[in-house]
A and B are shown apart, each in its own frame.
Chain A
Amino acid sequence: MRKFLVIAIPIVTLAFFILVMNSDNILKHPLGKNDNIPGSIQLVMQDIQAEKWKDANNKTDELSKSWRKVVKRVQFSAEKDEINAFDMNIARLRGAIMERDKSDAFMELCEAYEHWHNIGK
């Protein structure tokens, strides 16, 4: 029994660590309510396409909330730079919506999607 524990504890510990370090690829995907990043990005894009700027602004708030939820889950395994870059995209997106700049808003949303996509890669 003692020998089993001596071998089992390190193996289970290492396996747990490997799981934690690679969990971002799973945890970035929607697991509950209001944490669907690609879905939220899609919704903001639709509003911008239809030039519904007020709705786009509200959806950006939703996207920001969803992102904060996801960050809490992926922070232990994801790169800090990717997380920071996504935050910057949201900030710039707000500016583009304020200025009603369609092309800038799309650029920020596409880049934000890419940063989300890169998490866990």
Chain B
Amino acid sequence: MNEGLVVFVRSIIGFFTLLIFAKILGKQQISQLAFFDYVLGITIGSIAASLTTDLSSRAWPHWVGLFSWALLGYLMEYITMKWRYAAKYIEGEPTIIIMNGKIMESAMRKMRYTATDIMELLRIKSVFDLAQVDFAIIEPNGQLSVLKKPEYEPLTAKDMNISKASTGISTELIYDGILIVENLRQLNKDKNWILRQLKKQGIKDISEVFLATLTPSGSLYVDKYEDHIKKITDIGDYKGPY
């Protein structure tokens, strides 16, 4: 028995099964995962690990375990999608913790949050004064959503009756010194145009550029390999190994 080879083959089985099951289970980001989804992920990962390296038992029972957990996870997702009543229990629901500027003590106690926790979550949201808060809601994933009182909201172009053009999403034109022709064509530009733009910034060749992006509104961002910055600001507050 070639253990190395067996583990390699089992790794392939475990890896691709996990990939397929993860794809089926959905694309939630780690930061958006609720606690149960987090535990589900850990358990499925752990079963896949033992499928790979536990040679004292057959791969099949581990795989069935992996499949069962993924199937139950999928069923849960399906139920919460189709049945709002169950979703309320399984996924939880948002809880208003501050309403019209007043702290809801009973809701806070029910959620097992202390005033310190709320203050901390508010600070993470850049709110340092409770008087600025109109509404604060604890989301099912534990994050706090804050709506400030109108007088503390930042002034917008609409408030000033100013019309602003949409900037759009920037598209990569050059990456790692290589021109991405398809993206250039998509924005109705050609190679000569980009070369002219680079020349204006004192760049002779595309290979000098690390990244260049362009927005539909025409804003071009160019970053060269040579940054010519001699003194780099150190944001570390104490000495470390590097």
Contact = CB atoms under 8 A, between A and B. Distances in A.
Interface residues of A, number: 19
A14 interface: yes
Interface string B135-163: 00000000000000000000000000000
B1 A77 contact: no
A74 to B, nearest CB: 9
B23 interface: yes
A80 B63 contact: no
Contact of A81 (B3, B5, B56, B59): B56
Interface of B: 1-3, 5-6, 9-10, 13, 16-17, 20, 23-24, 55-60, 63
B56 A21 contact: no
Interface string A3-15: 0000000100110
B63 A17 contact: yes
Interface of A: 10, 13-14, 17-18, 20-22, 24, 71, 75-81, 83-84
B20 A10 contact: yes
Nearest to A74: B1
A47 to B, nearest CB: 28
A84 B60 CA distance: 19
Given A13-B16, A14-B20, A17-B17, A75 B58 contact: no
